[in-house]
Amino acid sequence: MSDAPSGEAELVQKWSEQARVPSWLTAIFEKWATERTYIHTTAMAEDQPSKVAVNYLYRAVIAKLALLQPENPQPVVKRTQYVDPGADDPRAEQWRQFLAFQERVAQSAACVLKRWAQEEHLGGLTERAVLEALVSGVIWIKSGFMEDAGRDPIGRSVRHAGARGNLLTLRRLSAEYEAGEFDKDDYRYAEMMALTDFARDMARAANPMPGDPRGALAELPDGMPAPSHLVPEPKVWRGGTVSLVDPENIRFDTQRVTAPEFLHLGRFFQERSWMTRDEAAEEFHLTDEEKKALGSPWRDIRTDQPSVGNTASDSDPADTELEDDTRDGGREVAVWERHDLELGQVCWWIQGIPRVLARRRMDATTKRGHPYQVFIPNPAPGRFFGLSDVTLARKEQDALNQALTDDYELRVASYPFYAVLAGLISPEDLDKIRRREPNAIVELTTKADDIQKALKKFDGEKYDPNLTLPAARESQRAIEMLLGLPTEAMQGTNSATRFATQSQIQSDNLSAQMGRIVRMITELQRQVYEDWTDFALACMSQDEVRAIAGPFAEWPAFDRDQIARGMTVEVVSAGTRANRRGDLEDMTNAMQVVNGMLDARAKALQQGMEFPVEDFAKRLTASLDLRTTGPMIKAIPPQVIQQAQMAQQEQAQAQIAAAQPPGAPPAGAVPA
């Protein structure tokens, strides 16, 4: 157990100190904010030297994102391979039944995961996560599990969501009270008693018949907490959740976690979210004194009357910085959600309130013990936070902006202009001249002849695009090379031009960087699916699973840990948008090889040779991973390849001969 202080005030004070931002992180936080502003705007900030700002970097990142996104990823739950006890073992039949049951559970889990992914729009969220990671260098993804009292197990909206939610909360509080997690002095006891009165009144209003389980709840004496087994459990929607968390809102155990691969060693994670003062007061049942500790202004929800409180202050140590716990003009406060792995609890607290606002057991946990994972597309050695695409290409973007600014100024300088004596033309006449339409008659107060005589035309400077545009194009190419993105990828692909043909350097960058990040994205999605599988096995009943996966779905009622250890989750996709056309071409080439092998087999059998081409063709056509096609073809003897090519040529000549009319000369023959 942890050596944390026993008092809640000391606990909150310790957590507040752990939520402080170390000085080495403040510069990184500022960089993230600047880079987000830099790439998400088409015009640069006022302090930028460029007057013309075309954010080519943003277009490049968007194009790169389109190439990275997996095509239709699908979760696949597989049964772990165990050692076969053998047919002679007396437990062999029981073992086979267990494996068959586990296989059906895996199929049911895959159906549940697909439904949850549709509900949470996992594909779109993954795309946003990758975009944010490319911009800032890092993004956090949080997996979770929820109960929605406003929907039934199928996902349809239902009425009386508030009453159903109260029953769910009462069941949870009653179970925690029976387990000794809080006593009568805790704020949760008062909430439990209020919900008990609500449930008892609702049961009495139903006038239950003899034998109705609600009868025992209706007869419950006043002032007695409701036992958890008497509280009816409403059938609600239970499902997985996934959300993105900006890196500025995450605090972790920096003493133990020094690199992303050491996240499992951390003792705690703290996530900051924002609530209005009214929302925080209602959510956590704050007293008047605690409302005042939130600062000013706040509004009493019960009376709808404004009040004034005192803003809590805290001294900053020399080596850390305490962020402001309010934003949006003080109308929102920072609410911290702490996942304490040593205590096995999720706690909520707010700075300035010396108590834990809410506690909850970690009933559903991941294999990591916490719900967070980090995505870093460009990791840098020796740094926890990786480099962003903005950091890698920002200097070239500034150079591009400057080149376009110079080109704009040269173009303006090349335009001719007219000079006239000051005061000769009135401001009204000048405005009429500027706003005139083509072939319009303009009435002026000054004589037209006087204006024509006084006007003098000046030719502009000679415009030479070679002074600026080559530098702009060079900056564009540099941005593409830094991102591993060829020009063809920005313009689209076709059958004649593949996107990785501009240069060997760009081709290498594309295949290396894109392939690595695509694998990271697939692993990110796989990790979310694996977390959801753990949540489903821990919290879902068989009826709830069958409501999603159908009446024949199987789900374990006991020994779920054994089932969870016996299943693995994978993500299978049809490639990415970038290589989908390439996959089709590879498949076409592979099928041609297969047809040639079959023809070669017929030739080999006629000559008495052994040629196991059927096994090769079966493995080739059944394989979903086309990357194995190359090694398999290379393993074929050269003479067999030659026979296949000769068979294809003979077959083509036979088709040409069959298509010619009788008496026609052979194809390719020279007429006499």
In tens, the pLDDT along 86-99 reads 777 788 888 888 88
Give the burial class of 520: count Cβ atoms within 10 A of its Cβ; 0-12 exposed, 13-18 middle, 19 or more buried.
middle
Across 23-37, 284-298, 498-512, 653-667, the highest mean pLDDT is recorded for 23-37
Residue 243: the pLDDT is: 95
Across 6-15, 479-488, 568-577, 618-627, the highest mean pLDDT is recorded for 6-15
Query: What's the pLDDT tens digit per position in 288-318?
Result: 888 888 865 544 444 444 443 333 333 333 3
Query: What's the pLDDT tens digit per position in 340-390?
Result: 988 889 999 998 898 889 888 886 678 888 899 999 988 877 777 888 988
Angle separating helix axes 56-68 and 515-539, nearest 10 degrees: 60
Query: What's the pLDDT tens digit per position in 232-276?
Result: 888 899 999 999 999 999 999 888 888 888 888 889 999 999 988
The strand pair at 74-79 and 567-572 is best described as antiparallel
Residues in the chain: 672
Tell which residue, 67, 123, 1, 16, has the closest CA to residue 581: 67
From residue 317, give the alpha-carbon distance in Å to each of 12, 321, 322, 349.
Answer: 17, 7, 8, 21
Residue 574: the pLDDT is: 60
Residue 476: the pLDDT is: 86
Tell which residue, 113, 54, 49, 103, has the closest CA to residue 81: 103
First to last CA, the chain: 101
| Percent of the chain whose pLDDT exceeds 70 | 72
Structure tokens at 413: 């300088």
Query: What φ, ψ does residue 124 adopt, rounded to 5°?
Result: -65, -35
Task: Please give the residue that has the higher pLDDT: either 536 or 639.
Answer: 536
Supply the mean pLDDT for the chain: 77
Distance CA 643, CA 470 (A): 53
Helical segments of 89-145, H only = 92-120, 122-136
Contacts of 55 (CB under 8 A, 6+ apart): 38, 39, 41, 42, 44, 397
Residue carrying the six token digits 């205590």: 343
Report whether 168 contacts 236 (CB < 8 A).
yes
Q: Amino acid letter at 451? A: I
Contacts of 181 (CB under 8 A, 6+ apart): 359, 361
Residue 42: the pLDDT is: 52
Distance CA 1, CA 73 (A): 41
From residue 523, give the alpha-carbon distance in Å to each of 111, 126, 258, 361.
Answer: 19, 11, 21, 28
Q: Identify each DSSP E strand in 328-380 by its residue range.
A: 332-340, 345-349, 358-361, 372-375
Query: What's the pLDDT tens digit per position in 141-194?
Result: 999 999 888 888 888 888 888 888 889 889 889 988 998 888 888 878 888 999
Query: What's the pLDDT tens digit per position in 390-425?
Result: 888 888 888 888 888 888 889 889 998 888 888 888
- What are residue 571's DSSP bridge partners? 75
Distance CA 185, CA 494 (A): 72
On the question of pLDDT at 68 being above 80, the answer is: yes
On the question of pLDDT at 653 being above 60, the answer is: yes
Give the burial class of 7: count Cβ atoms within 10 A of its Cβ; 0-12 exposed, 13-18 middle, 19 or more buried.
exposed
- What are residue 17's DSSP bridge partners? none
Helical segments of 285-331, H only = 288-293
Task: Please give the residue that has the higher pLDDT: either 549 or 565.
Answer: 549
When pLDDT is averaged across residues 537-563 and rounded to a whole number, the result is: 84
Q: Amino acid letter at 145? A: F
Sign of CA pseudo-dihedral 95, 101, 104, 109 = negative
On the question of pLDDT at 635 being above 60, the answer is: no
Residue carrying the six token digits 């079966």: 618
Report whether 153 contacts 237 (CB < 8 A).
yes
DSSP one-letter string for 553-618: ----SS-HHHHHHTEEEEEE---BTTTHHHHHHHHHHHHHHHHHHHHHHHHHHHTT----HHHHHH
Structure tokens at 410: 């040269």
Residue 348: the pLDDT is: 94
From residue 509, give the alpha-carbon distance in Å to each of 67, 137, 385, 455.
Answer: 13, 18, 22, 59
Local structure of 462: helix, strand or coil: coil
Which string of b and e fits 366-395 if b means at least 16 CB within 10 Å?
bebebbbbbbbbbbeeeebbbebbbbbbbe
Structure tokens at 512: 């290396």
Distance CA 37, CA 649 (A): 61
Report whether 256 contacts 267 (CB < 8 A).
yes
On the question of pLDDT at 504 being above 70, the answer is: no
Residue 232: the pLDDT is: 85
From residue 191, give the alpha-carbon distance in Å to each of 150, 184, 287, 358.
Answer: 21, 11, 14, 12
DSSP secondary structure letter of residue 26: H
Residue 510: the pLDDT is: 58
Query: What φ, ψ does residue 458 adopt, rounded to 5°?
Result: -120, 125
Residue 115: the pLDDT is: 93
Residue 598: the pLDDT is: 58
On the question of pLDDT at 500 being above 60, the answer is: no
Neighbours of 8 (CB within 10 A): 16
Structure tokens at 350: 């707010």
pTM: 0.71
Q: Model confidence at 648, in pLDDT bands (50, 70, 90)? A: low
Structure tokens at 9: 């005030």
Neighbours of 149 (CB within 10 A): 20
Neighbours of 214 (CB within 10 A): 20
Contacts of 353 (CB under 8 A, 6+ apart): 12, 286, 290, 293, 294
